[in-house]
Amino acid sequence: MTEVAESSLAGVRPVVRLDAAKVAKAVTSQVGEAVAAASAEHQLSVAASTEAAAQRLESATATADRLSRALTWQGVGRVAAAAVPVALVLLSLALLTVPLGQLLGIGPLSQWAWDSFTAAGAWWSRLLIAVATLGVVGAAGYGVFRAGQSLHRVYRGW
């Protein structure tokens, strides 16, 4: 009996009828709601980002306005007036450096290094003399720096 039922149903195709308008309306309403929700969420994030960017732009514009008015001739004059004592101290230190260097024997040593540099014929010997001289000067400068830090620590409380 199963064979007869199967053979009789073999040639029959099931017929399904759909109302295209109803299906389209149902799908459109579901997809439309999902798209509307996603687009509203995206719109809110874009609006928040745009508002934050606008606030940063307003802040930058205000800062630029303040800075454009900040540097006037009066300001340049004040900076120049404040730099005069620093320049005088640096000039006096430079003037005292040569006699102090002569007293400590640095002058003759630096003159000897320069004479050796100019007399050297090969580029590698000049490079060696320059590196050694600059290394000694750098080490001496670092020693002065560390001594100044030590004195600063000792006399800080005075």
Question: And the tokens for 143?
Answer: 């020693």
Q: What is the mean predicted confidence (pLDDT) over 21-36? A: 70
Q: What is the pLDDT of residues 107-133, one digit of tens each?
A: 787 788 888 888 988 989 989 988 998
- Residue 98 makes CB contacts below 8 A (sequence gap 6+) with 107
| 113 close to 133: Cβ distance less than 8 angstroms | yes
Residue pLDDT, tens place only, 50-102 = 888 888 888 888 888 777 766 678 878 888 888 898 888 888 877 777 677 77
The answer to whether the pTM exceeds 0.75 is no
